[in-house]
């Protein structure tokens, strides 16, 4: 992936983040029209819900963009790290993990009614995987969209799972874990009707700064991952 494309991807992510921040700013500016401090606090509850929506929405967009950029490189599975290779083989592994699956040679030897021997079935499937592995690794890798799953509740653990699935450093956002947890918990409490009181200005400013910092950190992470080609196996270099 050349530098121009990587820069273009970063600009795309920054543009996505800009419109989200501008939308939130527009909504936030309406606070000056509300005279009562209590009503301002109540209004901020809706801002927190929107803040979380932009946090999760941007995260989903950013990592989908990362996946699309790698897919467009048309790399072979043997060229990419094992996290991405495994993610691209969901269909193959699902078939392999099916207890009823029996490879072709097994059927040829034992017929349509093979002996009910689970150990023999397992041996057959393991042999099939070894036989097919070389062919699998020579195929073009396509990471499915569903690998990026924010689970509609983007807590630190969910974010870590997402990073792990994409072969990115899992502790990239560990310094934000407490803040992310506060944002998710506050949004859930508002959505579920548990947060009956409003949100004061200092609390909202803290949550807003956290979201801004995380979203900018996501851009830097993806930009660095593309520049350093973290999606490749260590011994592969693609020019």
**Dihedrals phi, psi of 76, to nearest 5 degrees:** -80, 155
Separation of alpha carbons 125 and 130, rounded Å: 9
Q: Angle 37-71/177-191 helices, nearest 10 degrees? A: 120
Which stretch of 84-98, 102-116, 161-175 has the lowest confidence by average pLDDT?
A: 102-116
- Higher-confidence position of 31 and 127: 31
Angle CA 207–212–214, to nearest 5: 95
Distant-in-sequence, close-in-space partners of 47: CB < 8 Å, separation ≥ 6: 24, 27, 28, 199, 204
Provide the 3-class DSSP secondary structure of residue 140.
Answer: strand
Q: What ranges in the chain are assigned the alpha helix state H?
A: 3-28, 37-71, 82-87, 90-97, 104-110, 118-137, 156-165, 177-191, 201-227
pLDDT tens per residue, range 55-107: 999 999 999 999 999 999 999 999 999 999 999 987 777 766 666 655 566 66
pLDDT, mean of residues 141-168? 93
Residue that wins the pLDDT comparison between 128 and 235: 128
- Given a cut of 50, is residue 235 above it in pLDDT? no
The tokens describing 96, both together, are: 């392999």
β-pair partners for 76: 140
CB 187 within 8 A of CB 142: no
Give the tens place of pLDDT for each residue, 17-64. Answer: 999 999 999 999 999 999 999 999 999 999 999 999 999 999 999 999
Whether residue 78 contacts residue 138, with contact meaning beta carbons closer than 8 Å, is answered with yes
* Cα 235 from Cα 239, distance rounded (Å): 13
Q: How far is residue 157's CA from residue 145's CA, in Å, rounded to a whole number? A: 20
Q: In whole angstroms, how far apart are CA 206 and each of 26, 179, 182, 201? A: 18, 9, 10, 9
pLDDT, residue 239, reads 44
Strand-pairing partners, residue 206, are none
Q: Which residue has the higher pLDDT, 61 or 109?
A: 61
**pLDDT tens profile 196-229:** 889 999 999 999 998 999 999 999 999 999 999 9
User: Is 148 in contact with 162 (CB distance < 8 Å)?
Assistant: yes
């Amino acid at each position: 992936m050349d530098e121009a494309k990587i820069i273009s991807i970063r600009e795309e992510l920054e543009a996505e983040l800009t419109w989200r921040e501008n939308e939130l700013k527009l909504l936030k500016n309406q606070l000056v029209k509300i005279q009562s401090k209590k009503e301002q606090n109540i209004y901020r509850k809706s801002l927190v819900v929107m803040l979380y929506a932009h946090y999760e929405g941007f995260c989903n967009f950013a990592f989908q963009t990362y996946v699309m950029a790698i897919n467009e490189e048309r790399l072979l599975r043997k060229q990419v790290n094992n996290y991405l290779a495994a993610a691209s083989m969901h269909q193959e592994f699902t078939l392999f993990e099916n207890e009823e699956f029996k490879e072709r040679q097994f059927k040829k030897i034992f017929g349509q009614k093979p002996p009910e021997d689970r150990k023999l079935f397992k041996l057959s499937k393991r042999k099939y995987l070894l036989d097919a592995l070389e062919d699998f690794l020579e195929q073009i890798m396509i990471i499915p969209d569903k690998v990026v799953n924010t689970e509609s509740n983007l807590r630190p653990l969910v974010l870590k799972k997402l990073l792990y699935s994409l072969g990115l450093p899992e502790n990239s956002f560990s310094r934000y874990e407490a803040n992310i947890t506060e944002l998710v918990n506050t949004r859930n409490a508002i959505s579920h009707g548990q947060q009956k009181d409003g949100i004061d200005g200092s609390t909202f400013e803290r949550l807003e700064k956290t979201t801004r910092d995380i979203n900018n950190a996501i851009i830097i992470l993806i930009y660095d991952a593309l520049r350093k080609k973290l999606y490749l196996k260590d011994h592969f270099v693609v020019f």
